[in-house]
Amino acid sequence: MGLGLHGGALALVKWLLKKKAILTITDLKTKRQLQASLFSISKLAGAKNIKYSLGGHQLKDFENQDLIVQNPGVPDKSIYLAEAKKNSIPIINEAVMFFGLYNGQSIGVTGTRGKSTIATLIHQLLRTEIKSNVVAGNIATNPMFAVIDKLKKDSLPVLELSSWHLEKMDEYKVSPHIALVTNVLNDHLNRYKNFCAYKRAKESIIKHQSKSDIAILNADNPHSYSFRKHTQANVYFYSLRKKIKGAYVSHGHICFSKGKGEQIIMPISGVKLLGEHNLQNILGAIVVAKLVNIKNKNIIRVVKNFSGIDYRFQYKTTIKDVAIYNDSAATNPDAVVAAIKALKNKKIVLIAGGEDKKMDYKKLAKEIKSQVKLLVLLSGTGSAKLLLELKKINCPDKLIIKNVPSLKKAWELSWKNIKDSNCLLLSPGAASFNMFINEFDRARQFNQLINDSQKKKK
| DSSP assignment string, 306-317 | ----TTSSEEEE
Q: What ranges in 248-295 are assigned the alpha helix state H? A: 276-291
The CA dihedral of 165, 170, 174, 179, to the nearest 10 degrees, is 70
pLDDT on residue 116: 92
Q: Is 104 helix (H, G, I), strand (E, B) or coil?
A: coil
3-state secondary structure 21-90: CCCEEEECCCCCCCHHHHHHHHCCCCHHHCEEEECCCCHHHHCCCCCEECCCCCCCCCHHHHHHHHCCCC
Cβ atoms of residues 245 and 258 within 8 Å: yes
Domains defined for the chain, CATH in brackets: 8-92 (3.40.50.720), 95-305 (3.40.1190.10), 314-457 (3.90.190.20)
Q: What angle do CA 74, 79, 83 make, to 5 degrees?
A: 110
Name the residue type at position 178: I
Complete DSSP assignment for 436-447:
SSSHHHHHHHHH
pLDDT on residue 366: 96
Name the residue type at position 371: Q
Per-residue pLDDT of the chain in tens (458 residues, 90 and over written 9): 999 877 889 999 999 999 999 999 999 999 999 998 999 999 999 999 899 999 999 999 999 999 999 988 788 889 999 999 999 999 999 999 999 999 999 999 999 999 999 999 999 999 999 999 999 998 767 899 999 999 999 999 999 999 999 999 999 999 999 999 999 987 766 677 888 989 999 999 999 999 999 999 999 999 999 999 999 999 999 999 999 999 999 999 999 999 889 999 999 999 988 899 999 999 999 999 999 999 999 999 999 999 888 888 999 999 999 999 999 999 999 999 999 999 988 999 999 999 998 889 999 999 999 999 999 999 999 999 999 999 999 999 999 999 999 999 999 999 999 988 999 999 999 998 889 888 889 999 999 999 999 887 66
Q: What is the DSSP letter of 228?
A: G
Report the C-alpha gap between 110 and 166 in whole angstroms.
9
Report the C-alpha gap between 106 and 136 in whole angstroms.
11
pTM of structure: 0.88
pLDDT on residue 187: 72
Question: For 192-200, which contacts have Cβ atoms below 8 Å and span 24 or more sequence positions?
Answer: 192/163, 198/163, 199/223
Q: Burial letters for 260-276: b for 16+ Cβ neighbours within 10 Å, e otherwise?
A: eeeeebbebeebebbbe
Cβ atoms of residues 170 and 204 within 8 Å: yes
Q: Is 255 helix (H, G, I), strand (E, B) or coil?
A: strand
